[in-house]
Amino acid sequence: MNITVIGRGNIGGGLADLWENAGHHVLRLGRDGGDVSGSEAVLLAVPGVAVEAALSSVVGIEGKTVLDATNLYGGARPPAGFASNAEYVKSVTGGTTAKAFSTNFASLFGRVASARVRPSNLWSGDDEAHDVVSRLSHDAGFEAVRLGDLSMAATQEGLAGTIFAISQSGLGEFVYRMAPPEQL
């Protein structure tokens, strides 16, 4: 696939590496922006408070499938009038939108390929995003687990605090797996 990552730091750069290793072509953009019109999927991986600035710095985003990996910390809120960053993204692009890759530690990306069992990657969003989220999760070493439609993106964004609390309560950075009983 032709993928653009907006944000080329821990998450954007880390996933770009994994996806390139899986055979995808990845364009990496930073705060200078660029043209995403040739992309089949766009990953948004900028600070949660920079989503408006990041989308305004790119051209060709209209109608694109966007996977939004942003989190909001410390009382930061989504853009005014929106329950989540992901719903704001959809209002800008009008395209298929998912909240994905927001609940996994980028620092562990390099070790996921050697995991005994694929860790889960929670996502929420449009039905139409199912196949691309499943494929790009798989190609990064994860298995996608759906949390719900885009109205659940705010709940997913709120999990960041829970994940940090777990991490800081003795476990450190971790992966997780959610699976049906037949996969025990």
Ligand X SMILES: NC(=O)c1ccc[n+]([C@@H]2O[C@H](COP(=O)([O-])OP(=O)(O)OC[C@H]3O[C@@H](n4cnc5c(N)ncnc54)[C@H](OP(=O)(O)O)[C@@H]3O)[C@@H](O)[C@H]2O)c1
Q: Which is nearer to ligand X, 39 or 70 (CB)?
A: 70
Q: Which is nearer to ligand X, 15 or 132 (CB)?
A: 15
User: Least distance (Å) from ligand X to the CB of residue 63?
Assistant: 20
Q: Which is nearer to ligand X, 43 or 132 (CB)?
A: 43
Q: Which is nearer to ligand X, 127 or 176 (CB)?
A: 176
User: Least distance (Å) from ligand X to the CB of residue 61?
Assistant: 12
User: Least distance (Å) from ligand X to the CB of residue 181?
Assistant: 28
Q: Which is nearer to ligand X, 14 or 118 (CB)?
A: 14
Burial 164-178 (b: 16+ CB within 10 A, else e): eeeeeeeeeeebeee
Q: Which is nearer to ligand X, 22 or 106 (CB)?
A: 106
User: Residue 88, Cα to own-chain centre: how many angstroms?
Assistant: 15
User: Least distance (Å) from ligand X to the CB of residue 180?
Assistant: 25
- Amino acid, res. 60: G
Type and span of the H or E element at 41: strand 41-44
Extract the tokens encoding 75: 């009382």
Q: Can you give the binding site for ligand X, defined by CB under 6 A? A: 6-12, 30-31, 45-48, 50, 53-54, 57, 69-71, 102, 105-107
Extract the tokens encoding 98: 């998912």
User: Least distance (Å) from ligand X to the CB of residue 87?
Assistant: 15
Q: In what order do the strands lie in the sheet with 120-125?
A: 25-29, 2-6, 41-44, 66-68, 97-100, 120-125, 143-148
User: Least distance (Å) from ligand X to the CB of residue 131?
Assistant: 22
Nearest to 103 by CA among 53, 18, 173, 49: 173
> Minimal CB distance to ligand X: which residue?
9
Task: Please check whether residue 79 is in contact with residue 41, taking contact to mean a CB–CB distance below 8 angstroms.
Answer: no
